[in-house]
Amino acid sequence: MGDGSVLVVGGTGGIGREVARRYHERGHDVTITGRNLERTSAVAAELGADVGALAFDLAEPETIAEAISGLGAVSRLVLSSIARDNNPIRDYTIADAINLTTMKLVGYTTTVNALIGRLSEDSSVVLFGGRAKDRPYPGSTTVTTVNGGVSSLIRTLAVELAPVRFNAIHPGIVGDSPFWENKPLDAVIQRTPTGRLVTMAEVVDATEFLLENRGVNGVNLAIDGGWMLL
Ligand SMILES: NC(=O)c1ccc[n+]([C@@H]2O[C@H](COP(=O)([O-])OP(=O)(O)OC[C@H]3O[C@@H](n4cnc5c(N)ncnc54)[C@H](OP(=O)(O)O)[C@@H]3O)[C@@H](O)[C@H]2O)c1
């Protein structure tokens, strides 16, 4: 994997936490981030006594460089943070749209920028988008837009920062993720050829593949059980 640690931005919950758990279990030096240092430190301690914790808000990109200034070399970077934004265009809330757009597009990019000197030619990065980029739903305008933006962002980053590899993962609805578990999802399941929702473990497997396979670069990988086929 080369020298350096694994940094999971948005590692306090959901899929990001499971990615951090996977890499820590494999014996890697892992740091997670969230917005609140106390909460992030508590999650890090649950994952392992040697898991690092940092706090910053991606929606305040000017603060990111300082917040991660203490990190050494970074071999694997995962950007998995999200702010949910149900924002119908007929009842549009500008502040929510700015928050999500800033955190996922400017915030993700600023994190990469701040780490440039600590990435090596063997480093790789995975950004999280989502299948809403292709299948919108009422209220998804900002989510659909930013996830579409992620699919383009990896291409510019992979070119500008070559040979560092940049890939994106676009999950469908992840049935056992904290946001979705216990919500009625029969309509989505019926429209999924595999007859089930994807799991966090499957998304973590795919993330690891994108991070570790040195031939994969600039790829937008959907993990959705074939949801778009029906
Ligand atoms: N779950 C799904 O079904 C699904 C489907 C499609 C795409 N995705 C994508 O997969 C990724 C992970 O989703 P998830 O459901 O696992 O997420 P999640 O459980 O909601 O976790 C979100 C993470 O983002 C962090 N976060 C929220 N706002 C932030 C901000 N302004 N600055 C920095 N960090 C912030 C949270 O940290 P704190 O709250 O501790 O600050 C937390 O660690 C997201 O990018 C999402 O869009 C998920």
pLDDT in tens, 24-52: 999 999 999 999 999 999 999 999 999 99
Residues paired with residue 220 on neighbouring β-strands, in sequence order: 168
Distance 81 CA to ligand 1 centre (A): 4
| Strand 52-55, strand 30-34: pairing | parallel
Is residue 14 within 8 Å of residue 44, measured between CB atoms?
no
- Supply the pLDDT for residue 137: 94
Q: Enumerate residues 6+ apart whose C-beta is below 8 A from 112.
A: 77, 79, 125, 157, 161
Does residue 141 line the site of ligand 1, with CB under 6 A? no
Distance 110 CA to ligand 1 centre (A): 17
Is residue 16 within 8 Å of residue 8, measured between CB atoms?
yes
- Supply the pLDDT for residue 3: 80
Distance 178 CA to ligand 1 centre (A): 10
Structure tokens at 228: 């778009």
The rounded distance, in Å, linking the Cα atoms of 108 and 58 is 7
pLDDT in tens, 76-124: 999 999 999 999 999 999 999 999 999 999 999 999 999 999 999 999 9
The rounded distance, in Å, linking the Cα atoms of 30 and 8 is 8
Confidence band of 17 (pLDDT split at 50, 70, 90): very high
Give me the chain's average pLDDT, please: 97
pLDDT in tens, 124-157: 999 999 999 999 999 999 999 999 999 999 999 9
Does residue 10 line the site of ligand 1, with CB under 6 A? yes
Is 1's pLDDT higher than 80? Answer: no
